[in-house]
Amino acid sequence: MSGHSYSYFPGCSQSGTAEEFGLSTEAVCRALGIELAELPDWNCCGASSAHMTNDLLSVALPGRDLAIANLLSKDLLVVCAACYSRLKVAQARINCDEALAGKIEDIVGADPRFNGEVRHLLDMLVNDIGFAYIKKWMKLELSGLKAVPYYGCLLVRPPEFCFCDSVENPTDLDRLLEAIGVEVRPWSFKTDCCGGSLSLSRTDVVERLVNRLFVRAEEAGASCIVTACPMCAANLEMRQKPGRLSFKIEHRVPVLYFTELLGLALGVAGVEKCLARHIISPMPLMKELELLTTERA
Amino acid sequence: MITGLNAGLEKRLEADTGQKVRSCYQCKKCSAGCPVAFAMDLLPHEVMRMVVYGQEARLLGSSTIWLCASCETCSTRCPNEIDIAGVMDGLRRMAVDEGVIPAEPEIAAFHKSFLAGIKLAGKTNEPVLIGAYKALSRRVFDDLGLGAVMLAKRKIKLLPRTVKDRRAVRRIFRGSKGGARM
Ligand code: SF4
Ligand code: SF4
């Protein structure tokens, strides 16, 4: 497939706690012939900390990235759900408020009015590339794998920027997983908040939210949770152990990026290394289901 | 007696956030779906009413404005199209601007550390963030075991990532008065 070429905002997490998300994203895009040109010298979007404490800063930080994206004049592909949300909100506010646009232009010293589209990776794969094309390149059906898709907050809210088919019950990730042979288990917690922004500061609150998600995922018969957000993934992986006050059961449910499973299905090299690096290892599960090439060889 | 009333609060908040909280008819849908309601001292629907009543001191000194996780579940569901999360943002920023002592010092310390890290490097580096947060919040011993696991799994990179154009980043912080307060 030709013609799929984007400028690319990898985001901070994808070279830190969520390196596997970044690596598997890039590998999957290579395998599908999607061209990614990394935004030169991009900066952090400010995440929730900027937006929660300083409104102007929360637009100016992504504003500089949008100004850089302007120079590349391509749609901007974003991996992290939080970066996606911050860039999307900033673009909408800059492009419909000339006074604000002028202020941001002053602060960043370049034109932040980006006319391309800010796209999330999942949106691009589901709506531009499509399941038929993905299936054509598929090397391995992930049969036997039971998963619940976890969208979290930022892929669906605020609704103005939701690319999924529904705000309350999205199915984009469900359908993508089904296309590669995963058994998607129904559950009602797809878009519940995991409390990510409080993960370090109010661990007690977060443990309660995370524990509930795991209990529900286990009840739904899932052997893993699949996500498209590095904040959710880090938070869910880190907080499965019972803390001081919150809950008693220790969960050991792997939390995987959808790109890792997609990479596995496409037979992309390097994905197994990503899987091996999770805090809650999915390797025993993958071995049992014979989904690893090294095992099958 | 309730002190710290400010009859102009609702107008000021509307000017800042565009939200008309007086259209709230107290259906409590926001509070019913709020994931952190169990930990809040004021429920979201109570916050809406208290804004109309001008109870500035209680609102700005509440835990709720810091505990709100910005998940926007409430804003998505409000039958009167109030962006409740946006109101929470407005109140929190007001508290920051006015130097009100945060009722949730750890959460405030987290945001401050996060922004300090960006100001320094232009990108977020987990070790810098965690170090700054531990120093500011004085919670040095939390999560030590987890830190070791993350290092072993190479989840934490010791070499920081930085933006080359540091001046541009400093300009953004200066221009938006970021990180100066709190
Ligand atoms: S959902 Fe809206 S109308 Fe109902 S109580 Fe909350 S703010 Fe008021
Ligand atoms: S945005 Fe804040 S107040 Fe609204 S539901 Fe989420 S945590 Fe609760």
pLDDT in tens, chain A (297 residues): 447 999 999 999 888 788 999 999 999 999 999 999 999 999 999 998 999 999 999 999 999 999 999 999 899 999 999 999 999 999 999 999 999 999 999 999 999 999 999 999 999 999 999 999 999 999 999 999 999 999 999 999 999 999 999 999 999 999 999 999 999 999 999 999 999 889 889 989 999 999 999 999 999 999 999 999 999 998 999 888 777 666 778 888 999 999 999 999 999 989 999 999 999 999 999 999 999 876 554
- Give the whole-number percent of chain B exceeding pLDDT 90: 69
Provide ipTM, 2 decimals. Answer: 0.91
pLDDT value at residue A158: 95
- From the CA of B48, give the closest atom in ligand 1: 7
Tokens 């910005």 sit at which residue?
B70
Q: How far is the CA of B80 from the centre of ligand 1 (A)?
A: 7
Answer yes or no: do A186 and A207 share one domain: yes
Tokens 């984007």 sit at which residue?
A6
**Count of domains forming chain A:** 2
If pLDDT is split at 50, 70 and 90, which confidence band does B2 have? confident
Which residues on chain A are in Cβ contact (under 8 Å) with B154? 19, 277
pLDDT value at residue A3: 73
Answer yes or no: do A112 and A9 share one domain: yes
Domain end residue (candidates: A68, A93, A121): A121
> How far apart (Å, rounded) are the C-alpha atoms in residues A289 and A291?
5
Q: Which of A47, A107, A192 sits opposite B175 (nearest CB)?
A: A107
Nearest CA residue ID for atom 8, ligand 2: B34
pLDDT value at residue A1: 44
CB contact under 8 A, B67 and A192: no
> How far apart (Å, rounded) are the C-alpha atoms in residues A211 and A249?
8
Give the domain range for residue A144: 130-296
Indicate the SS3 state at residue B91. helix
Q: How far is the CA of B88 from the centre of ligand 1 (A)?
A: 13
pLDDT value at residue A281: 94
- CA of A137, closest CA in chain B: separation in Å? 31
A80 closest CA partner among A169, A20, A170, A140: A20
* pLDDT tens per residue, range B51-106: 999 999 999 999 999 999 999 999 999 999 999 999 999 999 999 999 999 999 99
Give residues 152 to 211 of A whose Cβ lies within 8 Å of B.
153, 157-159, 167-168, 191-193, 195-198, 200-205, 208-209
Q: How far is the CA of B24 from the centre of ligand 1 (A)?
A: 5
A175-197 burial, b if ≥16 CB within 10 A, otherwise e? ebbebbbbebbebebbbbbbbbb
Answer yes or no: do A145 and A273 share one domain: yes
Answer yes or no: do A156 and A219 share one domain: yes
Q: Which helix (H) or strand (E) holds B10?
A: helix B9-17
Answer yes or no: do A149 and A64 share one domain: no
> How far apart (Å, rounded) are the C-alpha atoms in residues B73 and B34?
7
- From the CA of B74, give the closest atom in ligand 1: 1
Answer yes or no: do A287 and A226 share one domain: yes
3-state secondary structure chain A: CCCCEEEEECCHHHHCCCHHHHHHHHHHHHHCCCEEEECCCCCCCCHHHHHHHCHHHHHHHHHHHHHHHHHHCCCEEECCHHHHHHHHHHHHHHHHCHHHHHHHHHHHCCCCCCCCCEEEHHHHHHHHHCHHHHHHCCCCCCCCCEEEEECCCCCCCCHHHCCCCCCCCCCHHHHHHHHCCCEECCCCCCCCCCCHHHCCCCHHHHHHHHHHHHHHHHHCCCCEEEECCHHHHHHHHHCCCCCCCCCCCCCCCCEEEHHHHHHHHHCCCCHHHHHHCCCCCCHHHHHHCCCCHHHHC
pLDDT value at residue A297: 44
Nearest CA residue ID for atom 5, ligand 2: B34
Residue B180 has pLDDT above 60, yes or no: no
Answer yes or no: do A203 and A106 share one domain: no
pLDDT value at residue B107: 94
If pLDDT is split at 50, 70 and 90, which confidence band does B145 have? low
Answer yes or no: do A111 and A188 share one domain: no
The answer for A195, left when phi > 0, alpha when psi is -120 to 50, beta otherwise, is: left
Contact partners, residue B104, CB within 8 Å, separation at least 6: A201, A202, B63, B66, B67
Q: Which residue has the higher pLDDT, B177 or A134?
A: A134
Domain end residue (candidates: A89, A121, A153): A121
pLDDT value at residue B149: 65
Nearest CA residue ID for atom 8, ligand 1: B24
Domain with residue A85: its CATH number is 1.20.1050.140
Answer yes or no: do A282 and A156 share one domain: yes
A38, β-bridge pairs: A8
CB contact under 8 A, A41 and B175: no
Kindly report the number of other CB atoms within 10 A of residue A290's CB atom: 12
Which residues on chain B are in Cβ contact (under 8 Å) with A278? 153
Residue B131 has pLDDT above 90, yes or no: no
**In this structure, which amino acid lies at residue B34?**
C
Contact partners, residue B166, CB within 8 Å, separation at least 6: B122
Which residues on chain A are in Cβ contact (under 8 Å) with B163? 41-43
pLDDT value at residue B142: 66
Domain with residue A162: its CATH number is 3.40.50.11810
Q: Which helix (H) or strand (E) holds B99?
A: none
Domain end residue (candidates: A121, A152, A167): A121
Answer yes or no: do A152 and A102 share one domain: no
Answer yes or no: do A97 and A185 share one domain: no
Answer yes or no: do A175 and A277 share one domain: yes
Joined tokens for residue B12: 């000021």
Residue B163 has pLDDT above 90, yes or no: yes
Identify the residue among A21, A42, A43 best suited for mutation to test binding to B, counting B beta carbons within 10 A and taking the highest.
Answer: A43
- CA of A44, closest CA in chain B: separation in Å? 5
Model pTM score = 0.93
CB contact under 8 A, B176 and A60: yes
Within its chain, how far is the Cα of A256 from the centroid? 10
